[in-house]
Structure 1
């Protein structure tokens, strides 16, 4: 066999090309007549394979650029496997765009002259439904009505402590040398029928008053003597003054403790409760006025009975009764205790009345005037009212 002899043509074994015809006859679609309804495919003439022996092949025009056209049967079924795959791929839903495509779309929207991005506060311009506004207002009013228990406790403490503090301070004002001097020198004060003049009363009475507020023992009064050298106060009188001193010092100590607690309550209410101090003092002044008016009525109806019952509360029976010749009665007669009671009641009543007046809950003190001004301002500018309501 020479080189010029024609070579036998080998069968086409290219497996990469997908033939247009099915591999088996039974896969071909059937027509009503039973024959295969495959339309003739119009394909372009393939370019001739270059061959050394055929020089004319180099001048043959190529028509491979023409796409094949395959007819689709009347039943809608593709005639080849490639067409069926294309039909199946057409039924699949399109994939979502990639992130880059999304960014590109957003950029296109922003470049649109009619596109405008919503403002962050645009939601405030939308008024919620009426039922939602009513619900918010109801919740706000309910929250305003519910107050913490701490300020209420301190307000009650201030109201309870206030009358006791005023009473203790009034007693302290009476148990002083100043009141003793005013009482002995006032016109109409009864004199001593057993020889004490005003100077003697002032001297001996000052010892008794000082003993009530100092830390000296019973000897402070028991060692005193009068002009003739006799003991000034009897042992029973010294014992009674010791009992009075215990009551007075205890009341002063309790008053000091209540003052400290009241200062703490005032400091707490000043930081935690707007108007809490005023409300506590206002309630305390009312309680004080009720108590002092009640005690004044009882004392006016029967002073002797009132004086006796008062001593029975703090002292044992038989320890506080003396004769007219005893030094305590000569220094502190019945009129002295009447005047002391009047001064104590007057001081407490005056301070409580002043407190009542200055803590009276007017509109300005309760803050209602400010709320009314705010409401009038809102009514004068109704456009801002819905926005304020929504923000609140």
Structure 2
């Protein structure tokens, strides 16, 4: 039994943080109100020449596309007084890559969630004392890594944002022209910096919550009597 507990403990320590991070990514990415606030903050209506109402309609369709609810993201709208196609070929190809990433993310999140739940249930029934220890270790490791990652990323956000794209994409379609491409006009670097910061905050709160739950779990003393 001991070897299985150790195995599930490792699975939990690895999979639970991944699950939490990916869930936060989805929460932030598909929060339509977040987009509205950022469009106003970064004055995207004036930058793109697209009204706020149309920006929100485009956003709804874009998020549906990323969720796999639309077959394409070919949209026409009023841009500076003219009806134009919002996203051109290079942008469409990049968005196709992004949608594929979200598909893989969704599969990964479901898999790590399943493994985390199974591991926690198994450990809970086999050794409640070990469960408390595992949750404390998992939370502590996450706190350390989140802190280091936050310092690293925000020391030079553009640098690590570039690394992120080079790792995840096998092409350079993500390199868009802010003078002509509406996609990057709608979502400048500051927008992604805000998303990253919000994910960090949610993740930190969840880690602290997990740590608090772990600390509140009762510690059951092992009996020295044989057979108990």
Q: Structure 1-normalised TM-score?
A: 0.52
2:187 is equivalent to residue 336 of structure 1: no
Partner of 2:201 in structure 1?
346
For residue 226 of structure 1, the aligned residue among 77, 90, 101 is 77
Higher helix share: 2
Contact kept in structure 2, 1:151 and 1:269, CA below 8 Å: yes
Among 363, 367, 376, the alignment partner of 2:220 is 367
The answer to whether the 8 A contact 2:39-2:186 is kept is: no
How many residue pairs get matched? 222
Summarize the alignment of residues 282-361 of structure 1 with structure 2, pairs less than 5 Å apart: 282-324=136-178, 325-360=180-215
Offset at 1:353?
A: 1.4
Do the aligned partners of 2:15 and 2:116 also contact (CA within 8 Å) in 1?
Answer: yes
What pairs with 1:33-182 in structure 2 (closer than 5 Å)? Answer: 148-176=2-30, 177-182=32-37
Write the distance in 2 (CA, Å) between the matches of 1:391 and 1:281.
28
Q: CA deviation at 1:321?
A: 0.8
8 Å Cα contact 1:173-1:179 kept in structure 2: no
Q: 1:197 to 1:268 in 2, by over 3 A?
A: same
Shift of 1:215: 4.5
* Range with greater deviation from structure 2 (314-323 or 234-243): 314-323
Q: SS of the residue aligned with 2:76?
A: coil
| 2:54–2:77 Cα contact (<8 Å) kept | no
Distance apart, 1:157 and its partner CA? 0.8
Which structure is larger by alpha-carbon Rg, 1 or 2? 1
Q: SS of 2:84's equivalent?
A: coil
Distance 1:322 1:391, change over 3 A: closer
Offset of 1:358 from its aligned partner? 2.4
* Contact in 2 for aligned 1:184/1:202 (Cα 8 Å): no
1:346, distance to aligned residue in structure 2 (A): 0.7
Aligned mates of 1:390, 1:295 — CA distance in 2: 48
Give the direction of change, closer, same or farther, for the CA distance of 1:305–1:216 in structure 2 (3 Å limit): same
- Whether the aligned pair in 2 keeps the contact of 1:170 and 1:348 (CA below 8 Å) is yes
What's the offset of the Cα at 1:210? 1.8
Shift of 1:391: 9.8
Mapped partners of 1:391, 1:343: distance in 2: 51
Change (3 A) 1:342 1:200: same
What is the CA-CA distance between 1:317 and the residue it aligns to?
A: 4.1
Give CA deviations for 1:133-158 in whole Å, capped at 9, x if unaligned: xxxxxxxxxxxxxx711111111111
In structure 2, what is the Cα distance between the partners aligned to 1:221 and 1:268? 44
CA distance in 1, matches of 2:226, 2:133: 33
Instruction: Supply the RMSD in Å over aligned alpha carbons.
Output: 2.4
Give 3-state SS (helix, strand or coil) of 2:77's partner: coil
Verify the 8 A CA contact 2:8 2:123 in the aligned structure 1.
yes
